[in-house]
Structure 1
Amino acid sequence: MTDNPPVGGQPAAPTPQPPVDPPAGSADAPEGPPARLWDRMRDDPQYAPEHLALEAVRRLGPEAEQWADRVRAGQPGISSDALADLAARKFVNLARLSGAVSGAAGLPGAVIDVGVLAWTQARMVLHIAAAYDVDPLHSDRATDLLVLQRVHKVAESARLALGVAAGRERADALFGLGGQRPLGRIMLQLGVRLAQMAGVRAAKRIVAKIVPGAAIVLGTWANSSATRDLAQRSRELYRPRGAALPGPRQP
């Protein structure tokens, strides 16, 4: 997909370049959404969280399942709670690092940062699901992601929005959805939608990239706090009914 042409004779704002994807299955460093997903979200920012949730299940579900199987094989008898705690601690720690992935300033850097954070959180949710033997590849996990990340309040509206996003993916593949809209406006809308999904206010993320030194404070605190809260909600959803839920642990 190509960038929008200059508007009114002025050069268009540069499209942020997402980080290079690490090898599939790597969970030792913050990983951003794949380039194809960035293009899809840029072309359809209104449904960016839905596109991210659909792609996360497709791309990260197998990784989560393989991780759970690998840990269980190496630690026979490990409980589901202990496995979920491993996942939560790993991805809360990665969330702390995600604010420095892009290395870019201003709005483009803020958009990339919240996208990396939302993607990291989606990985965590799917890993916690796998820890409790809930299929991380099932399409219902995309619905779970949108409700857990508070993009939608109830599963019914999340499923409806996912259906719309999936239809727009198919239409984009056939006809293309990219319009002639100012890129700066698109990036702002995309940043707000991804920040909503990641549980971080867009203004904080933008300020963190513009004010020198603020990124360290706001990025570390906001990312880890939002991700820790999401981990607790994920445990509550996937843990078997009637089982006592351990209190939140500090990573």
Structure 2
Amino acid sequence: MNEPAVPTAAATSDDGGLPGSLWARMKADPQFAPEHLALEAVRRLGPQARAWAERTRADQPGITDAALADQAAKRFLNHARISGAVSGAAGLPGAVADVGVLAWTQARMVLHIAAAYGVDPVSPDRATDLLVLQKVHKVAETARLALGVAAGRERASRLFAGAANRPLAGVMLKLGVKLAQMAGVRAAKRMFAKVIPGAAMILGTWVNSTATRDLAKRTRQMYAPES
């Protein structure tokens, strides 16, 4: 089975897409793929979100936090709608790449909405928020524990050495399930639909939009100040 191609910047977003090092880390440690993605998102995307919020406020004096959050939600909802079939790979590898891009796009949206409401998008707490908002973990405490484990495994890269000896199909299936869970329960249908010729085109846009729109609503509820 061929490995999924790393999506290109043109196919994903203006930040260059998922880093190749992140794909490698998630494939080597699929059980903690959401945690690895959340940690990397805060490191790479958090500064971009903060810069975007500062730049937009400078360009649009008087813009409200809610209006800024609207811009972020609409921007990344559009990205999510076209994020399917970006890998160019068929079958399971392509499906895994697609849901990985969707989860990364959703993480960008969450961090941008946080920045819109004046919440620091580069704080380590945002990785915890990502995992709770994307329903990987139900509560912040378990999310923090999982992130600590993932960070330790990331540092101890020697623990990943055995990944290359595991059957690729099994690794990709576990990785796909974990990323689909992070991107939204319905995204699992999107992932497995791509394995069936023709089904992906029917479900892709609707599933991506629905999962991302629901996530945007939860994110705003978390970060918007109580009136």
Q: State the one-letter code of the partner of 1:85.
A: D
Q: Where does residue 16 of structure 1 map in the other structure?
A: 4
Q: In structure 1, how many angstroms separate the alpha carbons of the residues matched to 2:152 and 2:192?
A: 35
- How many percent of aligned residue pairs carry the same amino acid? 70
Tell me the TM-score normalized by structure 2.
0.94
1:178 aligned partner: 161
Q: Retained in 1: the 8 A contact 2:180–2:191?
A: no
For residue 208 of structure 1, report the CA deviation from its aligned partner: 2.6
Secondary structure of 2:18's aligned partner:
coil
Tell me the TM-score normalized by structure 1. 0.85
- Alignment counterpart, residue 104 of structure 1, candidates 75, 86, 89: 89
Larger radius of gyration: 1
Once residues 188 and 224 of structure 2 are traced to their aligned partners in structure 1, the CA distance between those partners, rounded to angstroms, is 34
Provide the rounded CA distance (Å) in 2 between the counterparts of 1:218 and 1:178.
37
Unaligned runs of 5+ in 2: none
Work out the CA distance in 2 between the residues paired with 1:137 and 1:187.
30
Indicate whether 1:71 and 2:59 are aligned: no
Deviation at 1:200, TM superposition (A): 3.7
1:131–1:181: structure 2 CA closer, same or farther, 3 Å change rule?
Answer: same
1:216 Cα deviation (Å)? 2.2
Task: Report which of the two has the higher share of helix.
Answer: 2
Aligned counterpart, 2:78 = 93
CA offset at residue 178 of structure 1? Answer: 3.0
Note the C-alpha offset of 1:132: 0.2
Q: Secondary structure at the match of 1:99?
A: coil
Tell me the equivalent position of 2:174: 189
Match for residue 220 of structure 1? 205
Equivalent residues of 2:186, 2:211 under 8 A apart? no
The change in CA–CA distance for 1:54 and 1:80 in structure 2 (over 3 A counts) is same
Could you say which residue in structure 1 is the equivalent of 2:14?
A: 26
Give the match's secondary structure for 1:101.
Answer: coil
How many angstroms does 1:14 deviate by? 2.0
CA distance in 2, matches of 1:233, 1:133: 17
1-structure distance, mates of 2:188, 2:112: 29
Establish whether residue 36 from structure 1 lines up as the match of residue 34 from structure 2.
no
Query: Could you tell me how far 1:192 is from its partner in structure 2?
Result: 0.1
Q: Which structure 2 residues correspond to residues 197-216 of structure 1 after superposition, within 5 A?
A: 197-201=182-186, 203-216=188-201
